[in-house]
Amino acid sequence: MKNEKITSRDVDFAKWYTDVVKAAHLADYTSVKGCIAIEPNGYAIWEKIQSIMDKKFKELGHVNVQMPLLIPENLFNQEKELIEGFAPELVWVTEVGDKKLDERFAIRSTSETVFCDYYRKHINSYKDLPKLYNQWCNVFRYEKETRPFLRSREFLWQEGHTVHASEEEALKETYQMMDVYRWFNHEVLAIPSITGKKTEKEKFAGAEFTLTNEDLMYNGVCLQDGTSHYFGQKFCKAYDVKFVNKDNKEEYAYYTTWGKTTRAIAAIIMVHADDYGLVLPPRIAPKQVVIIPIGSDERVNELCNKYNEELNKNDIVSYIDNSDKTPGYKFAEAEVNGIPVRIEIGARDLENNKVTLVRRDTREKIIVDSNIDIVSYVKDLLDTIHHDMYIRAIERRDKLTFEAHNMEDMRNILNTQPGFIHAMWCGDPECEMKIKEIKGCKSRCIIEEDPIDDKCVCCGKKADKHVIWGIQY
């Protein structure tokens, strides 16, 4: 039975999305326009994202720090492209109590300025390098149109800021961190992102180049989900971050930054959720298994406890729903909250030594012998669910992946069903602008794949850049 509070995904995707966010208690609007309250179910997903990514960052030698929230205006102004890129979205602190401040402070929209200012003072020699710093924090961008997780004025993220003694090492870091994001999306979120390089127009303000993870949502709209920027020596020149190299010469340092945000939660929803609510990929689910007793039989309770203990002892996060709601209500709640596996234990079934497992992703019921090795069975089932969710996401993505060889193709696709559109591009920003005129379609990334043509999809001139295009969130 469909959840009444949730609009059908195929009827109104935008409404369906906010319905799922609300019904699964992930977030809600607040009295601050464009800012959300991330509720316990939503924040628990973010905590899981943090713990998995943070562990990986640390394995690769990164350490966490915390830099100031406020940025003095003059510090921001030192890097022109950055301030130009972010200026319209910056909010400014101008008063304290009832007094005007001498200088305005921006609330950070990104922290390149602050990190470079710190590094300037703390780096002298190649022996001080590399610095592999990351911070988990909130940032603020005054967006006009906002939607929970997808585009919020305030959002949470991690921002890595690393400085290196050589171009080679900094480049390696830029690619390595993109690999981490890619790994995370594929192996943890079951989202088959495509990785590539942004065009000059779409790269981060002030970067030499930007690598990006692009996800395709169920409705064919694209979502940028994790970026890694290489700055060369540019920012370090603007902020005077110098070091004495091994040859005893002064040199500007090489800089990279990379970030991933609470937007990942939007991607999870828009790739995996359905008309019944949230569907959580098992490796990111804060609760992986819910055990629901039917009736209050002693044997039922015993088995609930036994399963629960065994699962938790073996690193599967499980809990018993012992609330005084009806079993039917509990099933529906587990479903809308996207818990990967539900175990139903009832007295009648137990008489025949049977229990029922229900997969959230397919809603399939599996009746098993109550004496099975529950740990290994559930472990396998969670892996199967991850695998199947990933395959279905690939199938959906492939179904919504198109090729365009000229502007008519482009228009036809975009007017029928958007998706990932492969098309060759000559590299001229004017062609990029012309394509954008069709429903705001933008280049997503340049990929390292065989060309599908030798002419630019727009101007018809010689083209060697294989680009994915699409409509974005």
Residues that bind its own copies (CB under 8 A): 28, 30-32, 35-40, 43-44, 46-47, 63-72, 75, 87-98, 104-105, 107, 114, 117-118, 121-122, 133, 137-138, 140, 142, 154, 156
- The least CB distance from residue 443 to its own copies, in Å, is 26
- The least CB distance from residue 41 to its own copies, in Å, is 9
Nearer to its own copies, 90 or 304 (CB): 90
- The least CB distance from residue 387 to its own copies, in Å, is 30
For 324, which DSSP code? S
Nearer to its own copies, 87 or 391 (CB): 87
- The least CB distance from residue 98 to its own copies, in Å, is 8
Nearer to its own copies, 13 or 29 (CB): 29
Nearer to its own copies, 105 or 276 (CB): 105
Structure tokens belonging to residue 177: 């961190």
Nearer to its own copies, 71 or 221 (CB): 71
Nearer to its own copies, 138 or 416 (CB): 138
Angle of CA points 459, 462, 466, to nearest 5°: 90
Phi first, then psi: what are they for 99, rounded to 5°?
-110, 145
- The least CB distance from residue 92 to its own copies, in Å, is 4
289 three-class SS = strand
Q: How far is it, in rounded angstroms, from Cα 193 to Cα 181?
A: 9
Q: How far is it, in rounded angstroms, from Cα 279 to Cα 326?
A: 22
Specify burial of residue 69 (Cβ count, 10 A radius: 0-12, 13-18, 19+). Answer: middle
- Rounded to the nearest 10°, the torsion over CA 410, 413, 419, 420 is -30
Per the listing, tokens 């590399």 go with 130
Yes or no: say if 67 and 59 are a contact pair by the CB < 8 Å rule.
Answer: no
- The least CB distance from residue 452 to its own copies, in Å, is 41
Q: How far is it, in rounded angstroms, from Cα 428 to Cα 305?
A: 65
Nearer to its own copies, 89 or 297 (CB): 89
Yes or no: say if 264 and 225 are a contact pair by the CB < 8 Å rule.
Answer: yes
Q: How far is it, in rounded angstroms, from Cα 456 to Cα 473?
A: 25
Nearer to its own copies, 143 or 275 (CB): 143
- The least CB distance from residue 154 to its own copies, in Å, is 5
Phi first, then psi: what are they for 195, rounded to 5°?
-110, 135
Nearer to its own copies, 13 or 157 (CB): 157
Structure tokens belonging to residue 358: 């229900």
Q: What is the largest CA-CA distance in the chain?
A: 81
- The least CB distance from residue 29 to its own copies, in Å, is 9
Q: How far is it, in rounded angstroms, from Cα 292 to Cα 335?
A: 12
- The least CB distance from residue 115 to its own copies, in Å, is 9
- The least CB distance from residue 6 to its own copies, in Å, is 19
361-370 contacts at long range (C-beta below 8 A, 24 or more positions apart): 361/272, 361/279, 361/385, 361/388, 361/389, 361/392, 362/388, 363/276, 363/335, 370/303, 370/345
Structure tokens belonging to residue 120: 């300037």
Nearer to its own copies, 102 or 450 (CB): 102
